[in-house]
Amino acid sequence: MITTSFLAALSAVFAIWVPQNRTEFIEAVAAGKGPTKVETVTVGRSLDQVFATLEAKSAECLDVLVERSGFVGTHVEVSSSDYNPTLERTGEDSAAFALQVEHRPRGVGHKPPPGGLYLMAADIRAVDDERTEIVLYRPTMGFKQIAESFRGWLEGDDAGCPKMR
């Protein structure tokens, strides 16, 4: 499964160390740790418009629980992934976004932070009344649909919800 393999690879890269907060995650991605990327996008929409879109789409598409079950040998194995987006105004002209996932049962070898492992983060700031800059910290593998949908939402596209796994 993509989610589990990506997180295993990320945990291996961080050598069992897992970022325990948004700041640690951003610093690790900015330092180039793991299969991650920092990208900056400027959109022709106000901060208020971007914030409202992300608030609605996060609630609709990213705040989800994915449950799975399947036969393993002679028994049924049940697992789930609980995705937890956060979006908050950090100032008059800025906002912060993060997406975490909490796996049940949790993987061996790492202690996830409250809310789960960090998958994405974004620093959002108004350039002026009609433009907003977003610095996106994201994985380069495993969550392509989420990143594509997120970038579409920033532009104001009514992109559908990504398939969460």
pLDDT in tens, 45-69: 999 999 999 999 999 999 999 998 8
Tokens, residue 21: 């907060």
Q: Which domain holds residue 151?
A: 2-155
Q: Residue 69 domain-assigned? A: yes
Count of all residues that appear for the chain in the document: 165
Q: Residue 131 domain-assigned? A: yes
Domain count, the chain: 1
Q: Residue 104 domain-assigned? A: yes
Residue 40 has pLDDT above 80, yes or no: yes
Mean pLDDT of the region 148-158: 93
* pTM for the whole structure: 0.85
| Alpha carbons 153 and 151: distance in angstroms, whole number | 5
Q: Residue 142 domain-assigned? A: yes
Dihedral class, residue 109 (left if φ above 0, else alpha if ψ from -120 to 50, else beta): left
Whose CA is closest to 39, among 153, 124, 135? Answer: 135
Mean pLDDT of the region 19-40: 94
Q: What pLDDT band is residue 16 in, cutting at 50, 70 and 90?
A: low
Determine contact, residues 25/137, Cβ cutoff 8 Å. Answer: yes
Around Cβ 100, how many Cβ atoms within 10 Å? 21
The pLDDT, as a whole number, for residue 3 is 46
Residue 10 has pLDDT above 50, yes or no: no
Q: Residue 164 domain-assigned? A: no
